[in-house]
Structure 1
Amino acid sequence: MAGAACVSPWLRAGERHPRWLSTGRDRDGRYWLAGVGRGDDLAFKSPLPGRAHGFAVAPDRPQALVFARRPGNWAGVFSPLDGRISRWLEPPRDHLFVGHGCWLEDRCWVALGSESSDARLGIWSPVNGHWTDRIALPGIGAHEVVAHPGGEGLAVAVGGLDNSVRASGEAFRSALILLDGLGRVRTTLTSPRPGFSVRHLDADEDHVYVGLQYYGPDRTDLPLVYRVAWRDPAWQPLPAEPWQWLQMNSYIASVVCGPWGVSVSSPKGHHVMHWRFEAPVAMEPMRDVAALAGTNDRLWAGNGLGQWRRSNTSGSTARSGIVPLAWDNHGAVAWV
């Protein structure tokens, strides 16, 4: 399970400290962007116009984007220092945000949907604040996009699902698409089995780590997490017992990798799974856990009860706490 870090050099540099980012809902039904700081309390809380989903944290500047949950019509550009939202973005005309984006070089590559659910990528420039390009991809239901840490390309999860939030059955086509650094399709890998939607990703120098969701009639005891080599792509399931896959209840939310291994969450299965080098997979119970974020030596998790845990990647829990927000969907980390 060895691999290079998924965290950019700038994010590891200097005397900065990690700020754990996520979004949540308060008891009054309002949605917020929030950051947990060095003192383990909320460092900031900024209002959002609706439910959010994921982040794109710039690797070379204190800037990040938070995206509306699909089908979304807004994204916020903010500073991880204080949570101040400097501008709101609309998707390109006739397109929708689907919750994810990433940075490659000096541009933000954003997964997009359309009225027909056709998969798209949009490229946004922070220099002029404009959308500079749009790329059509094969399939429908683009979801998460991640960049190779060395800038060699991107990986896109194409879930095969339309703009509706829910799906059922197995009659859809899902794939992992690998692109070169210019956004040209290099490889398309169809989902390993019918009924499995390719949803969430992380990447290191060698592999893309892929979390699946199963939409068949029953819970599955088949693998839900795979790795795919950038240079010789093929599906390789991460090792786990059938009962452990059953525990995840057909649903992988966040995927986080680092030099320590891989972790994934399941709010429906109420567990985090950890792969640490050659050690057996470990199951960590945490009710309604979805949000994960990691550094080279720490892992942060947040759940729908407002609880969070920050663990050393050796497995020991270093800190935990609770905030008056139901953490929702994904997390991220920025160094401030």
Structure 2
Amino acid sequence: MTNRRNFLAGLAAASLTPASGWSSVGAPVYLAAGLFPDGSYRLSGLDNAGAILFSIPLPARGHAAAAHPSKAQAVAFARRPGTFAIVIDCKSGHVIKRLTAPKGRHFYGHGTFSADGTRFFTTENKYEAAEGVIGVWDANSFVRLGEFASGGVGPHDIRLMPGSDMLVIANGGIETHPDTGRTKLNLPTMLPNLAYVDLSGSVLAKVELTGAQHKNSIRHLAVRSDGLVGFAMQWQGNQIKHPPLLGLHKLGEIPRLLSAPERQQSDLQGYAGSIAFSTDGHSVAITCPRGNTLHRFDVTSGALMNAYTLEDVCGLGAGAEGLVFTTGTGAFGSLNAAHAKISSRQDCQWDNHLIPIQTTD
């Protein structure tokens, strides 16, 4: 009887304890920024079918976001060259903290948490010196702890490698300065790379795109569970008519650059927006909002599997059926071998990225 009494008391106590994990806000699967009809920019949590579970105002246009691994908490970033990031309690909708890039820095729109959720890492431009920087923040107080070099110029995306204390950074290679907006200042000499660093900032490996590919800016990343890194690129040159815009890399190996046949590759117009591996890891895809197209490739052979026509498609992520996408027309859908299926359409314009929530709770 005593055990039963204690058990019931424990249940009662648990029911009074606020849930802090992602289940407390309906267990969203994705985060997405968007522009809504009232003119507001918002960060939304979406379920597997693209239904909006919560929607929280942002002070300006968002780009990407990072989800805390256990708390119902997200960091939403301004579009480059923004200097703010907003830490949001997704249950209450309250802003917990506003992160401001230090003087002489701006954010690039991406960040990631450590696996245990205690630290947060931001990609930044130290623009007077034209150097890439990774900001390090305490993920409880969001006090800045320090920074380290990104291993290149123009660090855009950053991901935590699975099962390790190692980060992979997409150094796009492009020098910019806020005084000149989004103007690219070093195209003749740019040198993009993937940098693998530990959480203290020590560079463990670096993979550069050299020669004819030195103007292929590495922008966005996806990481498969076995550590295979996919990277999406944006071409800054003119000497290659239809350059490859998708790369794959595994530590200790040389990168593989994948292209579609020329007719389909030309549809990309030298620009890949987002990248994701399918849930089973057998395929990888990139989006191109400029060309209204999405390409899916077989990882093993590197061959194009499908080319889908989707108006203003950009957001991309792993989904229950393999891959899901969002568009600037408010659509959310999934892919199969034959076609793209739209499962919902919201009255908004989804922005560049669809961020999966990978929880540990």
- What TM-score does the superposition give when structure 2 sets the normalisation length? 0.80
Q: Could you say what secondary structure the match of 1:321 adopts? A: strand
What is the letter of the counterpart of residue 168 of structure 2?
Answer: A
Q: Could you say what secondary structure the match of 1:245 adopts? A: helix
Deviation at 1:81, TM superposition (A): 4.8
* 2:257 pairs with 1:237: yes
- Corresponding residue to 1:125 among 126, 138, 159: 138
What is the letter of the counterpart of residue 184 of structure 1?
Answer: S
Other-structure match for 1:334? 357
Other-structure match for 1:191? 209
* 2:274 pairs with 1:274: no
In 2, the alpha carbon distance for the partners of 1:83 and 1:273 equals 36
In 2, the alpha carbon distance for the partners of 1:299 and 1:81 equals 27
Q: Could you say what secondary structure the match of 1:54 adopts? A: strand
- Corresponding residue to 1:172 among 190, 202, 210: 190
* 2:127 pairs with 1:115: yes
Other-structure match for 1:150? 163
Report the structure number with the largest CA radius of gyration.
2
Deviation at 1:263, TM superposition (A): 1.7
* 2:216 pairs with 1:206: no
Deviation at 1:264, TM superposition (A): 1.3
Q: Which moved more, 1:149-158 or 1:183-192?
A: 183-192
In 2, the alpha carbon distance for the partners of 1:273 and 1:82 equals 38
Deviation at 1:95, TM superposition (A): 1.7
What is the letter of the counterpart of residue 290 of structure 2?
Answer: K
- What is the CA RMSD across the aligned residues, in angstroms? 2.8
In 2, the alpha carbon distance for the partners of 1:179 and 1:238 equals 25
Deviation at 1:68, TM superposition (A): 0.8
What is the letter of the counterpart of residue 307 of structure 2?
Answer: M
Other-structure match for 1:283? 307
Stretches of structure 2 lacking an aligned partner (at least 5 in a row): 1-20
In 1, the alpha carbon distance for the partners of 2:354 and 2:342 equals 17
CA contact under 8 A between 1:262 and 1:276: conserved in structure 2?
yes
Q: Could you say what secondary structure the match of 1:132 adopts? A: strand
CA contact under 8 A between 1:212 and 1:252: conserved in structure 2?
yes
Q: How does 1:53-68 map to 2 (within 5 A)?
A: 53-68=63-78
CA contact under 8 A between 2:49 and 2:332: conserved in structure 1?
no
1:260-307 deviation per Cα after TM superposition (whole angstroms, max 9, x unaligned): 321211111211111245574211111111111224644331111122
The count of corresponding residues between Structure 1 and Structure 2 is 322
In 2, the alpha carbon distance for the partners of 1:227 and 1:12 equals 31
Deviation at 1:246, TM superposition (A): 1.6
Q: Which moved more, 1:207-216 or 1:238-247?
A: 238-247
Deviation at 1:250, TM superposition (A): 0.5
Q: CA 1:142–1:298 in structure 2 vs 1: closer, same or farther (change >3 Å)? A: same
Other-structure match for 1:8? none
Q: How does 1:16-55 map to 2 (within 5 A)?
A: 17-37=27-47, 40-55=50-65
Deviation at 1:248, TM superposition (A): 1.2
Other-structure match for 2:268? 248
- Corresponding residue to 1:134 among 126, 133, 147: 147
In 2, the alpha carbon distance for the partners of 1:315 and 1:64 equals 35
CA contact under 8 A between 1:153 and 1:183: conserved in structure 2?
no
Deviation at 1:114, TM superposition (A): 2.1
Determine which structure has the larger strand proportion and give its number: 1
Other-structure match for 2:87? 77
- What TM-score does the superposition give when structure 1 sets the normalisation length? 0.85
* 2:315 pairs with 1:294: no
Q: CA 1:275–1:159 in structure 2 vs 1: closer, same or farther (change >3 Å)? A: same
* 2:131 pairs with 1:97: no
Deviation at 1:170, TM superposition (A): 4.3
Greater RCO, 1 or 2 (C-alpha within 8 Å, sep 6+): 1
1:95-120 deviation per Cα after TM superposition (whole angstroms, max 9, x unaligned): 21110011223311111112324200
What is the letter of the counterpart of residue 104 of structure 2?
Answer: D
In 1, the alpha carbon distance for the partners of 2:292 and 2:321 equals 23
Other-structure match for 1:225? 246
Q: CA 1:200–1:327 in structure 2 vs 1: closer, same or farther (change >3 Å)? A: same
In 1, the alpha carbon distance for the partners of 2:137 and 2:324 equals 28
Deviation at 1:137, TM superposition (A): 3.0
1:145-202 deviation per Cα after TM superposition (whole angstroms, max 9, x unaligned): 1110112411111112214424485442222111134321122222251321111111
Q: Could you say what secondary structure the match of 1:330 adopts? A: strand
Q: Could you say what secondary structure the match of 1:140 adopts? A: coil
Q: CA 1:45–1:140 in structure 2 vs 1: closer, same or farther (change >3 Å)? A: same
In 2, the alpha carbon distance for the partners of 1:93 and 1:52 equals 21
Deviation at 1:23, TM superposition (A): 0.9
In 1, the alpha carbon distance for the partners of 2:319 and 2:143 equals 31
CA contact under 8 A between 2:268 and 2:290: conserved in structure 1?
yes
Determine which structure has the larger helix proportion and give its number: 2
